[in-house]
A and B are shown apart, each in its own frame.
Chain A
Amino acid sequence: MMRWQILTCAVLLAAWPARPASHDSEPRQVSATHQLETQAAIWVWTDKYVYRPGETVTVRWTLKPYNDPLPYTIVAYRQNNQTGARSYLPGGGAEPKDIAGNTLESGFRMRYLEAVEKAVLATFQAPDELGMHTIVVQLRDFTGTRIVKSAYFKFGIVSEEVQITGNIESDTTWVNTRAYRIRGLVFVRNGATLTIERGTFIIGEPGSQPPSALVITRTGRIVANGSRSRPIIMTSSQPFGQRKPGDWGGLILLGRASNNWPGGEGFIEGLPDSPDTRYGGNDDTHSCGFLRYVRVEFAGAEFQPNNEVNGITWGSCGTGTVSEYLQVHYGFDDAFEWFGGTNNAKYLVATYARDDYFDGQIGWRGKVQHALAVVNEDNGNRGIEMDNNETNHALQPLSKPQFYNVTLVGVGDRLTQSFDEGTGVAAVFLRRGSGGVYNNMIAYNWITAGVDLRDARTLENLDSGELTMDGIILWNNGRSSGRPNNLEGQVTASALPFVRGERGRARNILVADPMLRRPFEFSDPDFRPRLGSPVFRANWVQPPDDGFFDQWATWSGAFGDLNWTEEWTNFIQEQDLRVP
């Protein structure tokens, strides 16, 4: 069977250069020299996330040159993110060396890129330096100093792993010199604040029921301020290569902002009936806390047979809640979900979720800017799924989020789709009376359509102005069912009068190739647009200067020239780091 797998991998790899022309053949001519860019893909990883001092760390990497004709100096090092100190790999030592061991003085050795697959790059003993560390692999140009491309991997060295069970009822700080294994439901309640230091690993243990999950109740708060170099990582306990969505529960924040349940309160499904599992209230400025630079990986265990936990759930959090630079990676259910409330979020990355990527309902009225959804071949459902309230489509307040600068990339033209909601897999799937502002978005390569408006109440929101779109780039949606790249092909029939401007307020709906740099190299993708991409057209709508939106993001989609996912995120597909 293993042989079969390898064969499959080999076949897949062999198939890569033959990918459709739009993805990679043209840019190769311009990229490296003019944009300081290479088409080569690199990912690097260690054999696990959390080490004790003295344990052996094995660093592996994969390099796909993609015919990059230029020679590069390859430099790899481990950086202690607490001190900034570097140790160059594979040999160690603070003096800069390339991976062949040449120092700057002796002259870095340039080399043409050769394919490397899951090879050992270095092994070393984990030093007695507690905290988060990063493995960095760089391709440098002929100058030896100018970095063309970097790959990053975060791991931790800790003194101990602390088992967490039960409730947190007084102020608590989790530090990055330890790792925290949570087992079962952990409620933060009774006025307690859970502070998580940057660079801390939180590991969800399997095997309990209800599954391991961190729940910030209405009487608790979380302060999880990671940083770009030291994100907070909440992840699976399983060995690398064997991690699966649903290995543990996820992160749930419950707040006191309003929603549209009659009575204003709901329960988190699948949990016991207690004040700790309720959400909702009437304080729209309530703060559930701070989440900055947080990754939630392999979450989504089932609470009950019909209900999996999302990666990050906001249950009626208010505007006081801060959510930015968040990634949900490989979730069994939705990546991000909002149940009512008013909280905003920025810089969101949703990768390889089994269900939807951005899901809102029960009267959520938050704002989102700079958000990315990526579906890989094994996963995925809808990009944005928005409901008002399934049980009564007209309940008030209406779900009316505002999205600006969103890139949604599906798997439409490489159809092996099998997940959940079969025929209704659209990039933007609006239903059950939801409204909202959807501006400056890219909907690319989704199975059925770019935009789907489901029902009468939702369509009525077009007439009332509760649902508007401005600046949507549609491309290659519905290709597997032969839909053409024009307005009729890119949206469902229900949405056609809208995108044509015949009903409601939709402007700047464009069918064009967004010309993303490398959207389908899943473990090392790049969703920034290439030169000449229509995302830089001048007439995209300006985000309002309301204190939340960044008005400088004048393009369509999540990215301009800056790749804000660099370093703190992780796109590596599990099979791509599974060592045979």
Chain B
Amino acid sequence: MRDWLGVLVLALSALRPVAWASDPGAGTLAGVLYDSRSGKPVPGALVEVIEDPRLKTTSNQDGVFRFELAPGSYSLRITAQGFHPAQLDQLVVRPGQVTDASKVLSFAGDVTQVEVVERLSAGAATAESVIAERRLLASISDGASAEEISNSVASDAAAALTRVTGVSLVGSGYVYVRGLGERYSATLLNNALVPTTEPERRVVPLDLFPVELIDRILVLKTYSPDLPGEFSGGLVRMHTVEFPARRILRLSTSYGFNARTTGRPFLTYPGGRYDFFGFDDGSRRMPASIPANSRLFPGRFSEAQFEQFGEAFARNWEPVPIASARPQQSFTLVGGDSIGRLGLVGALTFSNKLQRSLELQRYLVNAGKGEVRIHTEYPDFTADTESARLGGVLNAALRLSPTHKLVFRSMLTRDTDKETRVFAGYNGGVDTWIHSTRLRWVERSLQANSFDGEHTLARLRNSILRWQFTWSGSRRDEPDMREVFRTPRADGVLVFSAMPQSGLRFFNHLDDRIREPQLDWSLPFYRGGVSGMLLFGYRASFRERHFEARRFRFTPVRTATLDLTLPSNRLFSPENIRPDGFVVREVTRGTDTYDGQMRIHGAYAMTDLSWASRWRLVAGLRLEDSAVDVTTIDPLVPGAVPAVARLRNRDPLPAANLIYSLGPRQNLRLAFARTVARPDFRELSPFDFTNVLGGFNVVGNPRLVRTAIENYDARWELFFGGDQLLAASLFYKTFHNPIEVTIQATTSDLRQTFLNAHSARNRGIEIEMRRRLAALHPRLNEFLLAGNFTFVDSHVRIPDSQRTVLTSLRRPLVGQSRYLANLLVEWMKPSWRSQARFYMNYTSRRLSDVGAMGLPDIYQEGFAQLDFVYHFHFREDGRWSLRLAAENLGDTHYRWTQAGILQRSFRLGRTISVGTSYSIF
């Protein structure tokens, strides 16, 4: 994988669709040239404007060239030594706008038979450049560019990825590639692993990344040895905003109106002063009087102290209704410049959104004799969430000399949810009607910093040395979650109920850090008809995880002395917190706190060979040593003995990608690789813990082994030129010892655990197409049609030992949809300064939860989502634009069923948003 060589490949794309110009009369034609072989920018190429022979320039060290031109249509001719000459036609230059004319130059050795001057039209260069990048990649990938992302309604990376072939979104942030769960995918941000904000997982949820900060996302689907070995479904590579060709400063803002939220009643609760921005002002912090290193238990503390502890918690338990929810709002500022040798780019984004989710939730039970009954039913499960998201990126590049470059990148993103949840209904577990209110605050943040350098070593046969050091950390802070349950008395009045989660104050905190040094050395060589590159590299990933939680519960001692019908804020008043009234007891579990450590050393050697002008082989071997340690220790018990689970593996991971050029525009690719999937930290720990997010009790399994995966891929692709293509892929994967969820019978409830299933396989077809309709009829020139379709057939075999508990022993993998489809229709009319896009995304039904004890599995039913976006430029120079988006046009009904019974359902409502963007420079 060498696209990191083309760091600036998409220099301009981040800034689309906004254009700028210093001379309002003139426009700019600019682009980046790069090598089809290595992806490296091509410096020193001669670029001539055919219409005006006086205008010529050479590309600089980053392969960038630029012309200031009068409005009109131009053609460019590009010549460089060792490359085929290329010509770009129909480049329309508009006043004040930049027209992108980036180009991939074909290596002269690659194409010898045909005289090719590739032609492409402007306006599609961004999508094209991602396609071009894909075309160059040794492995199979699909991607989304900044332009595509910003033209869609997606607000975060996860949503943007749903447009990508074979990708589906489960939950709000987890990306399933080719039907394989997040266990089988990894995320690289600027080429480094990202820590997670989730205590029970290792993969970062992608909804954490605002699209405004993302330049492009690629999903790699086949493996090459320079990648981390934990790879199967796909590897999501995100790159933050790239360096602009010239000074920019752009401000945008947008307001959204959700039909089911905005202007309607909304629940919230009094919080801190900075809630709007997603920062807790300290009012949710654990009271200072609660000892940090000792469990609160009788004997250790006196009754009087317990009373103080109880009174120290903020008396803030009740939801507060708002009559009318305000619209969603978001603001973005992007700026950048090049000052001599220094390039700088920064982006800042903030949004605050209110969203009501009104769900029907049911839990079914096997009543025996084939009868499945509704056990628990909450008809109006309401969660009102205020999400504040703040993100920033600062990247700086310094060119020390034409052959030496240093880049510093820093990204910070924060995502805070302030949730007020209320539900009521019959709970079959406790066999009564219950009413719950829960106030919650979850602050997630991620900071990633990296330094990298690139050095062309002329003395060492023009080899390239690249190094990178990344240090990143993520946090998830959930301070002071409060929950109260009530049950109705015979007279209907709700009284406080001392059910297990009632009167709860829950604090938890996660810290996840990764340090990752990398070194890659690539050495080009040419010998006769064979040319290519040797690559060697090393990457170490040091990951440390710390999670801790404290749970406290207010329980009544003598209910006869309390009026339990009082509203919660009065119920938990100081006069009721007393030794025979409410007392606070600590219910922190010994297994609530754990530390995880993962150390991976990976080294690879691979070669990238081309011969006979049509063949290219990328093959190599990676050797990965991994050490995983999970330590569970009760920090509140002095001298407690830690429980340690460990997993040690050395895995040789061979991979080969063979590319055969069927013609200048057609490739056939075949790939094979062996990869692994390792258990998450908690899955290895032998202790029973309570999933902080779901409330499910889970016990790890220290006997788990890592999964070995064999991946086979074949792909045919046809590039029509520009951003148009047609591609079809076949894939087949076999899994040995895949890690799957199973269920254990306990005393009354069931608990979740993990096991290595026998085997699983996953196979499928992907078809992707992107075509301008001008080919059909000239009048359809304004339309572009793009679509992709994925069919996945997966199958997992569970060991027979689970027959007694699990309902289905042969089933698809959890979260895998059989069909995924995307359709995009784009209409663009430059004379009206307008562009519109219509999106459709379809996800077929998928297994969401495994059924046990004779209950069938739960499936999420198939759903389609329709979105529409319209862009209008107020001014010819494009400085000021308007964006109108209609999201979720069909008000999609999300439904889950079990045994034919609706198990869960909700609609999020249509959202109309209006935004405007203004470029100061």
B750 — nearest CB in chain A belongs to which residue?
A391
Interface centre among A210, A268, A423, A454 (most CB of B within 10 A): A423
Given contacts A207-B299, A209-B634, contact A306 B500 (CB under 8 A): yes
B375 — nearest CB in chain A belongs to which residue?
A390
Segment at the B interface, from A414-422, A497-505, A547-555: A414-422
**Quick check: B368 and A273 within 8 Å, CB to CB?**
no
Segment at the A interface, from B490-498, B671-679, B712-720: B490-498
**Quick check: A393 and B490 within 8 Å, CB to CB?**
no
**Quick check: B753 and A354 within 8 Å, CB to CB?**
no
C-beta contact mask, A538-580 vs B, less than 8 Å → 1, else 0? 0000000000000000000000000000000000000100100
In whole angstroms, how far apart are the Cα atoms of A227 and B746 in the complex?
Answer: 34
Does B303 sit within 8 A of A, measured CB to CB?
Answer: yes
**Quick check: B498 and A419 within 8 Å, CB to CB?**
yes
B369 — nearest CB in chain A belongs to which residue?
A394
Does B779 sit within 8 A of A, measured CB to CB?
Answer: no
**Quick check: B745 and A266 within 8 Å, CB to CB?**
yes
Shortest CB-to-CB span from A454 to chain B, Å, is: 7
Q: List chain A residues, Cβ under 8 A from B491.
A: 480-481
Segment at the B interface, from A28-36, A117-125, A236-244, A317-325: A236-244
Does A192 sit within 8 A of B, measured CB to CB?
Answer: no
Does B569 sit within 8 A of A, measured CB to CB?
Answer: no
Does A27 sit within 8 A of B, measured CB to CB?
Answer: no
**Quick check: B749 and A306 within 8 Å, CB to CB?**
yes
B854 — nearest CB in chain A belongs to which residue?
A392
**Quick check: B299 and A238 within 8 Å, CB to CB?**
yes
For B559, give its contact among A378, A390, A421 (CB under 8 Å): A378
**Quick check: A209 and B637 within 8 Å, CB to CB?**
yes
For A210, give its contact among B433, B488, B590, B744 (CB under 8 Å): B590
In whole angstroms, how far apart are the Cα atoms of A391 and B686 in the complex?
Answer: 25
In whole angstroms, how far apart are the Cα atoms of A480 and B490 in the complex?
Answer: 7
Given contacts A315-B747, A418-B559, contact A272 B366 (CB under 8 A): no
In whole angstroms, how far apart are the Cα atoms of A209 and B294 in the complex?
Answer: 12
Q: List chain A residues, Cβ under 8 A from B745.
A: 261-263, 265-267, 391
**Quick check: A242 and B587 within 8 Å, CB to CB?**
no
C-beta contact mask, A405-419 vs B, less than 8 Å → 1, else 0? 000000000011111
Q: List chain A residues, Cβ under 8 A from B588.
A: 209
**Quick check: A244 and B298 within 8 Å, CB to CB?**
yes
**Quick check: B499 and A420 within 8 Å, CB to CB?**
yes
Given contacts A209-B634, A242-B579, contact A305 B589 (CB under 8 A): yes
Does B82 sit within 8 A of A, measured CB to CB?
Answer: no
Considering only residues 416-442 of chain A, those with a C-beta below 8 Å from chain B are: 416-424, 429, 431-433
**Quick check: B686 and A304 within 8 Å, CB to CB?**
no
In whole angstroms, how far apart are the Cα atoms of A206 and B500 in the complex?
Answer: 19
Q: List chain B residues, Cβ under 8 A from A242.
A: 298, 303, 579
In whole angstroms, how far apart are the Cα atoms of A390 and B854 in the complex?
Answer: 12
Shortest CB-to-CB span from B581 to chain A, Å, is: 9
**Quick check: B853 and A305 within 8 Å, CB to CB?**
no
Given contacts A271-B688, A304-B589, A390-B748, contact A354 B490 (CB under 8 A): no
**Quick check: B559 and A377 within 8 Å, CB to CB?**
yes
A237 — nearest CB in chain B belongs to which residue?
B299
C-beta contact mask, A381-402 vs B, less than 8 Å → 1, else 0? 0000001101111110000000
Q: List chain B residues, Cβ under 8 A from A209.
A: 295, 588-590, 634, 636-637
Does B695 sit within 8 A of A, measured CB to CB?
Answer: yes
**Quick check: B490 and A456 within 8 Å, CB to CB?**
no
Shortest CB-to-CB span from A520 to chain B, Å, is: 13
**Quick check: A1 and B575 within 8 Å, CB to CB?**
yes
Does A308 sit within 8 A of B, measured CB to CB?
Answer: yes
**Quick check: B559 and A481 within 8 Å, CB to CB?**
no
Does B564 sit within 8 A of A, measured CB to CB?
Answer: yes
In whole angstroms, how far apart are the Cα atoms of A524 and B431 in the complex?
Answer: 33
Does B649 sit within 8 A of A, measured CB to CB?
Answer: no
**Quick check: A454 and B431 within 8 Å, CB to CB?**
yes
Does A455 sit within 8 A of B, measured CB to CB?
Answer: yes
B852 — nearest CB in chain A belongs to which residue?
A391
Q: List chain B residues, Cβ under 8 A from A457.
A: 367-369, 371
Does B561 sit within 8 A of A, measured CB to CB?
Answer: yes
Does B290 sit within 8 A of A, measured CB to CB?
Answer: no
Q: List chain B residues, Cβ under 8 A from A393.
A: 365-368
Q: List chain B residues, Cβ under 8 A from A246.
A: 555, 585
Does A343 sit within 8 A of B, measured CB to CB?
Answer: no
Does B527 sit within 8 A of A, measured CB to CB?
Answer: no
What total of chain A residues lie within 8 Å of the partner, measured CB to CB?
77
**Quick check: B690 and A377 within 8 Å, CB to CB?**
no
What total of chain B residues lie within 8 Å of the partner, measured CB to CB?
78
Does A5 sit within 8 A of B, measured CB to CB?
Answer: yes
Does B163 sit within 8 A of A, measured CB to CB?
Answer: no
Q: List chain B residues, Cβ under 8 A from A361.
A: 748
In whole angstroms, how far apart are the Cα atoms of A481 and B488 in the complex?
Answer: 12
C-beta contact mask, B426-461 vs A, less than 8 Å → 1, else 0? 000111111000000000000000000000000000
**Quick check: B746 and A244 within 8 Å, CB to CB?**
no
In whole angstroms, how far apart are the Cα atoms of A206 and B587 in the complex?
Answer: 12
For B746, give its contact among A266, A354, A421 (CB under 8 Å): A266
Q: List chain B residues, Cβ under 8 A from A447.
A: 490
**Quick check: A306 and B695 within 8 Å, CB to CB?**
yes
Given contacts A267-B744, A392-B853, A393-B367, contact A302 B587 (CB under 8 A): yes
In whole angstroms, how far apart are the Cα atoms of A422 and B295 in the complex?
Answer: 31
Given contacts A210-B590, A304-B688, A306-B749, contact A422 B367 (CB under 8 A): no
C-beta contact mask, A438-473 vs B, less than 8 Å → 1, else 0? 000000000110000011110000000000000000
Does B489 sit within 8 A of A, measured CB to CB?
Answer: yes
For A420, give its contact among B365, B430, B557, B687 (CB under 8 Å): B430
Does B300 sit within 8 A of A, measured CB to CB?
Answer: yes
For B300, give its contact among A207, A394, A395, A448 (CB under 8 Å): A207
In whole angstroms, how far apart are the Cα atoms of A455 and B371 in the complex?
Answer: 12
Shortest CB-to-CB span from A382 to chain B, Å, is: 9
Q: List chain B residues, Cβ under 8 A from A478.
A: 490
Given contacts A269-B697, A431-B431, A457-B367, contact A8 B299 (CB under 8 A): no
Does A163 sit within 8 A of B, measured CB to CB?
Answer: no
Q: List chain B residues, Cβ under 8 A from A394.
A: 367-369
Shortest CB-to-CB span from B756 to chain A, Å, is: 15
**Quick check: A207 and B637 within 8 Å, CB to CB?**
yes
Does A102 sit within 8 A of B, measured CB to CB?
Answer: no
A417 — nearest CB in chain B belongs to which residue?
B489
For A272, give its contact among B488, B687, B746 (CB under 8 Å): B687
**Quick check: A304 and B498 within 8 Å, CB to CB?**
no
B300 — nearest CB in chain A belongs to which residue?
A207
Given contacts A5-B580, A391-B750, contact A419 B497 (CB under 8 A): yes
In whole angstroms, how far apart are the Cα atoms of A276 and B19 in the complex?
Answer: 70
C-beta contact mask, B684-725 vs A, less than 8 Å → 1, else 0? 001110100001010101000000000000000000000000
Considering only residues 1-18 of chain A, those with a C-beta below 8 Å from chain B are: 1, 4-5, 8
Q: List chain B residues, Cβ under 8 A from A431.
A: 431
Shortest CB-to-CB span from B78 to chain A, Å, is: 66
In whole angstroms, how far apart are the Cα atoms of A361 and B366 in the complex?
Answer: 15
Does A88 sit within 8 A of B, measured CB to CB?
Answer: no
C-beta contact mask, B339-376 vs A, less than 8 Å → 1, else 0? 00000000000000000000000000111110101000
26 A-B interface contacts by CB (under 8 A): A206-B297, A206-B299, A209-B295, A209-B636, A244-B583, A265-B745, A266-B746, A267-B745, A304-B589, A304-B690, A379-B559, A387-B748, A390-B748, A392-B366, A395-B368, A416-B564, A418-B496, A418-B556, A421-B430, A421-B432, A421-B487, A422-B433, A422-B489, A422-B497, A423-B432, A424-B431
Sorted from nearest, which 10 A-B pairs have the closest CB atoms?
Answer: A394-B368, A422-B487, A262-B804, A481-B490, A209-B590, A269-B746, A391-B853, A263-B804, A393-B368, A377-B560
Task: Tell me the A residues contacting B by CB distance below 8 Å.
Answer: 1, 4-5, 8, 205-210, 237-238, 242, 244, 246-247, 261-263, 265-274, 302, 304-308, 313, 315, 339, 354, 361-362, 377-379, 387-388, 390-395, 415-424, 429, 431-433, 447-448, 454-457, 478, 480-481, 575, 578
* Other contacts beyond A207-B637, A421-B487, A423-B490: 6, CB < 8 A: A5-B578, A262-B805, A313-B747, A377-B560, A418-B556, A432-B367
